[in-house]
A and B are shown apart, each in its own frame.
Chain A
Amino acid sequence: MVKVIIYPINSLILSDLVERFGHKPLAMMEKIKEKINTVGVDSPPLNITSEEPKMGLKYAAVEVPAGVRGRMAIVGPMIDEAEAAIIVNDASMAFGCMGCARTNELTKYLIRQRDIPILEVDYPRSEEEGMDFVYKIANFLKSLPLEEKQ
C-alpha cells in the first residue's frame, strides 16, 4: 500500500479511485476530519487557527498571504508524507479545488519537486477521454506496490 497524494487535493473521485486500488489517499477531507474530531479549546471546532499560517511558513515565505500559508499548513505535510502522486490538470471546480489559485500553483510545484512516482493527466472533456482518464489512473495505481514498506 502506497500513500498517494491527489490533486485536486479534495477530489472525492480521485480519493475513491486510490482507495479502490488498495492504496491510501492523502486528501484534504481526512485532514479536516482529524481537525474537527480532535478535542481542543475551540467549540465548535475552528479548523484553522492563527497558528496554521505560522506553520505554513515552512512551505511559503511570510510575504505569501495568510490564506495560502493556512492551506499549506494542511497540504504541505501531506506532500512530505506522499509516496506517489496523481495530478489532474485543468479540472472542473466540481471535481475538486483548493479555492486559491496561488495555493494550487504551489501545491503542484511542491509535488513535482518530490522524487516519487507522479502521474499527470488532463481532466477529461468527453466520454472517450473519461474512459482513457480512468484507465491511465488505474494503470498507475496498479503499478504501485501493494505491500507495506518495511
Chain B
Amino acid sequence: MSTEKQVKVALVSCGSEYAGVQGELEKVTASVNAKLIFPEIDIASLDTIGRDFGIEAASPDLRLMMARARAVVEGITDVDGVFITSCFRCAEAAIVRNEVRRYINRHSNIPVISYSFTERTTAATLMTRMEALTTIARRKHLLARERQSGLTAGIDSGSTTTKAVIMKDDKIIGQGWVPTIKVIDSATEAFNHALEEAGVKAEEIQAIGTTGYGRFLVGEHFKAQLIQEEITVNSKGAVYLADRQKGPATVIDIGGMDNKAISVTDGIPGMFTMGGICAGASGRFLDMTAKRLGVDITELGALAVKGMQENVEMNSYCIVFGIQSLVNSLAKGSRPEDVAAAACHSVVEQIFEQQLQEVDVKEPLILVGGSSLIEGVPKALSRLLKIDVLVPPNSHLIGAVGSALLASGFVEE
C-alpha cells in the first residue's frame, strides 16, 4: 500500500477535534495511506454561506462545514475524497451533514462518506469505511472492470459464513460455502470445495482476491493479489451478478454482523453507510428467529412469505427483547408464519430507518448477502420501499464473486 499514491481526504466536520475523536481520525487515515485536509475557505464567506447554501444554521462550525463543502465542489481545494462527520445526536448537524453530502454528490464525482461520531468512535470502527473511500479514489481503473477473465478465485471471509468461488472466462465454475469457525481453516475448506467443484488445482489459479472480516488474515495466507473491503467488492459483485453495470443502482447487503447500503453509479460506490451497532438489524436476528421457531434458516424465508407481520406485536428491534416479543406472540397463539414475517419486517424496517435515510435509493435496488435468500426479506423490503427488489442469482456469493472479478485485473497486469 505504501507504494501507492497518498489519498487526500477533505475533512468536513463541525468540531471533531472537540469530541476527542480527532486522534482516531488521523490514525485511520494514516493506516490507509491517506491524509486529512482541511479545505481552505474565505472567512468572509461564513457570513453569507447560510443564504448561499440554503441552510441558515445557528452553529458557526456548521456554516464552516458548508463553506468547506463548497470549496471542495468548486475545486478550490484539490482532494480525492470527502469525509463528512458531526456529533451523533445533534439534530442541526444531522440536517447539515446530510445536505452537504447530497450537495457534494450532486455537484462532483468525488466519493463521500458520512459518519456521526461519539467519543467512543475508534479508528477500528472507521477502518472499512475509510478503506473503501480511498479505494474508490485510488483504484477507479480496477473498479471499471466489467468482465472476469482468466482463472481467478475469490474468498469472502464473513463473520458468519465463508464463501469461495472459482471463476473462469466470466463464469462461476466452482463454489464453496461453509460456516466461519476458524478463519483460515474455514477459508481453506470453502476454497477446496470450490476447487473440487471447478475441477482445477490451487496452483492453476492465476489470481486470488479476498474480502470480508477475515480478509487480511486469509489474504496473507493465500498470498492474494487483492485484499479488499466489502463495500467496493460487494458493489461490484452486485451489479455484475444483477447485470446492471451501467447507470445508477442501490445495493443492500444484509450480513451476519452488519449491513451495507451503497449507492452505486456504473459499478462504483458513491455514498454508502454501514450499520454495525445493532445485531437486531443483521442476519443474526433471522438466524435466532429460525432457531426459536425450530426451523432451518433456509426454511425461514418460505415460512415468512406465507405470514402477515401485522399479526405480531414487536415492541423492540433489539435482538434480545425483539426475540422476546416474538416468543410472547407464539405463547399468545401467533402462527409461526406470522412470526417469521415479523422478524423479516423488523430487520428491513430497521435498515430503512437507520441506513437508507443516508443513502439516496435509486432503482434498481439489488439485495445481496445470505439474508437475501430468505424470501421474506426481499418481500418485506419491497413492501416497505414500494419498489421492486432485485435478488441476483448467487446473491449469497456476492463478496467472493466481486473479489474474483476484481482479482482478474491482476491477471493481465
Enumerate chain A interface residues (CB-CB to B < 8 A).
42, 46-54, 63-71, 92-94, 97-102
Contacts and interface: CB of A to CB of B under 8 A. Distances in A.
Contact of B88 (A42, A47, A65): A65
B60 interface: yes
A18 B118 CA distance: 36
A65 B93 contact: yes
A71 B359 CA distance: 31
Give me the 4 closest cross-chain CB pairs, A-B, nearest first.
Answer: A65-B87, A99-B61, A101-B58, A53-B119
Interface string B38-67: 000001001100000000011111101000
Interface of B: 14-23, 43, 46-47, 57-62, 64, 86-90, 92-93, 117-120
Given A47-B17, A70-B18, A71-B18, A65 B23 contact: no
Contacts, number: 89
B92 A101 contact: yes
Contacts of B22: 46, 48
Given A99-B61, A101-B59, A67 B19 contact: yes
Nearest to A98: B60
A42 B26 CA distance: 12
Given A66-B88, A92-B47, 12 more contacts: A46-B23, A47-B17, A49-B20, A53-B118, A53-B119, A65-B89, A67-B14, A68-B90, A71-B18, A93-B60, A94-B43, A97-B60
A51 B117 CA distance: 15
A38 to B, nearest CB: 16
Contacts of B19: 48, 53, 65-67, 69-70
Contact of A93 (B16, B47, B92, B118): B47
26 contacts: A42-B23, A48-B17, A48-B18, A49-B20, A50-B119, A53-B118, A53-B119, A54-B119, A64-B89, A65-B19, A65-B87, A65-B89, A65-B93, A66-B20, A66-B21, A66-B87, A67-B86, A68-B90, A70-B18, A70-B119, A94-B43, A97-B60, A99-B14, A99-B15, A99-B18, A101-B57
Contacts of A50: 20-21, 119-120
Given A93-B60, A99-B61, A48 B89 contact: no
A70 B118 CA distance: 11
A99 B65 CA distance: 11
Contacts of B92: 101-102
A99 B20 contact: no
B59 A99 contact: yes
A67 B97 CA distance: 15
A110 to B, nearest CB: 17
B59 A52 contact: no
Contacts of B60: 93, 97-101
A63 B58 contact: no
Residue of B17, B47, B117 with most chain A CB atoms under a 10 A cut-off: B17
A13 B62 CA distance: 24
A94 B42 CA distance: 12
A97 B119 CA distance: 22
A83 B90 CA distance: 32
A70 B117 CA distance: 13
